[in-house]
Amino acid sequence: MKQPPSVVDGGRELLGWLREMRDDEPVAVDAYGMYHVFRFDDVQAVTTDPPVFSSDFTRIMPQVEEGAKGSLITADPPLHRKLRRLVSTAFTPKVVASLEPRIAQVTNDLIDDIDGSGFDLVEKLAYPLPVIVIAELLGLPASDRAQLKSWSDELLSIQTGDFSDPKMLDEAQKKAENLNAYLLEHITRRRGNPTNDLLGKLVTAEVDGEGLDDTEIVNFSRLLLLAGHITTTMLLGNAMLCFEENPDSAAQVRADPSLVPAAVEEILRVRSPFLFVARVSTQDVELSGRTIPADKMVMAWLLGANHDERHFADPERFDIHRDPNRQAAFGHGIHFCLGAPLARLEARVALTAIFQRFADIRIADRSAVKFRETQGMYGVTYLPLEVERA
C-alpha cells in the first residue's frame, strides 16, 4: 500500500486516493504492518465490535501503559463503561444544552473583539471559543488559553507512523510533560479543596468504590482538553471552506438558520475532522474478503467511510439537505465521541452568529490557507477571511 497523500492541498488528492483504495484495495497493509479499511461497512464493523477490535493498545505496545491509564480512547469494557460513566454526567444533553447561553456570549464577545474587515478565523474564533468552554468545564483559567494552545499544538504535531517506534513514544511523552505538570498542579489543589467543576468531580469520583489516581486523572483531563477543543476548531474552519465552495448552500443557511444543524452534519461528512481511528485486532478476522491477523493495528478511515458511494449517493456533492446522513465523523459504538453534542452545539451557535453578524464572508486568499499537516487530522491552522458587518 502506498503512503496516503497529505491534506496540504485541501484534501483533493487524498479523496482521490481514498476512492481508489475503496475500489481496488478496501483492506490494505502498509509498510509498518498496520491494516487500513476504507469502506463504510468495514469502518463500522471495526468501530462497533470491541471484543474483536480492541482499543487497548497495550496488547501490542506495553510501553504505552503509563500514558494510557485513565484514557477513554484506549480502554475496553468493562473499564471503559466505568470511566465513561464518570465523565458522562458533564456531557448529558441537559448539561450541554445549558451551556448554550455561555457559548453564545463567548462567541459574540470574540466577534466584538475583531477589528477591521479582515481576520484569521482560527486565531480569532475557531480556537478560542472551544478552548474557553472546555477550560471552564474543567475549571481551568481561560487566561491560560495561549499556553494551553502551545502545549496542544506540540502534542498534535506528532505524526502517525510506526506506533511501536520508541523514539515516537519518547517524543510524545516529552511533549506531554509540561501539560501533565500543569494539570497535576490543578488536581493537587482540588485534593485539599474540592470544587464543583469537572476536575473537582474527577478527584472525588469513585469507580466501584475506588477513586482515580493522579495519573489517571491527568491522562483523562488531557484527553478532554485536547479533544474538547480541536474538533470544534477544525469543524468551524471546515465549515467556512465548505460554504466558500458552495455559495448556494451558504445563502440558504443565511436565509434560514434552522438549516444550520443539517449543514453541520454535511460538513462533518465532507470534511471529517479526524481522518481515521485506530484499533487492535484480537483474533483473525475477515473484512471485504481479506483476513486481518490477530494483534495488528487497524486504521479505520472515517473520511473514507463518509465518501463511500456504496453508502452515500453522489458522495462528493455537498448537500445540506441530505437525508438520511449517517456520517461517521464521530465514530460508532461505545467509543462514539463523548464531546460530539458539545461540538455540534458550539458549531451551531458559532455559525448562526457568524451569519447574523456578518453580511458577507469570503476567504481573503485561498492560496494563503494553511492546512494542518499532522497525519490523521483534516482542518486548517490559518484561514484569512474578509467580511462585511451586518
Query: Is residue 239 within 8 Å of residue 267, measured between CB atoms?
Result: yes
- In whole angstroms, what is the distance from residue 41 CA to residue 200 CA? 40
- In whole angstroms, what is the distance from residue 225 CA to residue 76 CA? 21
pLDDT of residue 362 exceeding 90, the answer is yes
pLDDT of residue 65 exceeding 60, the answer is no
Place of cell 491552522: 381
Task: Write the pLDDT tens digit of every residue in 81-97.
Answer: 777 777 776 677 888 89
Q: Determine which of 65-69, 75-79, 120-124, 340-344 has the lowest per-residue pLDDT on average.
A: 65-69
pLDDT, average across residues 375-382: 90
In a domain, 4, yes or no: no
In a domain, 6, yes or no: no
In a domain, 272, yes or no: yes
Q: Work out how many domains the chain is built from and give that number.
A: 1
Regarding predicted confidence, which is higher, 336 or 194?
A: 194
Q: What is the pLDDT of residue 81?
A: 76
Closest CA to 125 of 261, 235, 276: 235
pLDDT of residue 73 exceeding 80, the answer is no
- The enclosing domain of 108 has a CATH number of 1.10.630.10
In a domain, 5, yes or no: no
Regarding predicted confidence, which is higher, 246 or 374?
A: 246
Q: Determine which of 19-28, 64-73, 202-211 has the lowest per-residue pLDDT on average.
A: 64-73
Regarding predicted confidence, which is higher, 304 or 333?
A: 304
Strand partners, 15: none
Q: Determine which of 78-82, 114-118, 178-182, 362-366 has the lowest per-residue pLDDT on average.
A: 78-82
Q: Which domain holds residue 171?
A: 12-389
Strands 285-287, 276-281: pairing kind: unpaired
In a domain, 273, yes or no: yes
Q: What is the pLDDT of residue 161?
A: 43
Query: Is residue 36 within 8 Å of residue 299, measured between CB atoms?
Result: yes
In a domain, 169, yes or no: yes
In SS3 terms, the chain reads as CCCCCCCCCCCHHHHHHHHHHHHHCCEEECCCCCEEECCHHHHHHHHCCCCCEECCHHHCCHHHHHHHCCCCCCCCCCHHHHHHHHHHHHHCHHHHHHCHHHHHHHHHHHHHCCCCCEEEHHHHHHCHHHHHHHHHHHCCCHHHHHHHHHHHHHHHCCCCCCCCCHHHHHHHHHHHHHHHHHHHHHHHHHHHCCCCCHHHHHHHCEECCEECCHHHHHHHHHHHHHHHHHHHHHHHHHHHHHHHHCHHHHHHHHHCHHHHHHHHHHHHHHCCCECEEEEEECCCEEECCEEECCCCEEEEEHHHHHCCCCCCCCCCCCCCCCCCCCCCCCCCHHHCCCCHHHHHHHHHHHHHHHHHHEEEEEECCHHHCEECCCCCECCEEECEEEEEEC
In a domain, 330, yes or no: yes
163 band by pLDDT with thresholds 50, 70 and 90: very low
Q: What is the mean pLDDT of the chain?
A: 88
- In whole angstroms, what is the distance from residue 91 CA to residue 73 CA? 16
What is the model's pTM? Answer: 0.91
In a domain, 114, yes or no: yes
Q: Which three cell numbers stand for residue 179?
A: 501539560
Regarding predicted confidence, which is higher, 321 or 2?
A: 321
Task: Write the pLDDT tens digit of every residue in 111-152.
Answer: 999 999 999 999 999 999 999 999 998 999 878 988 888 888
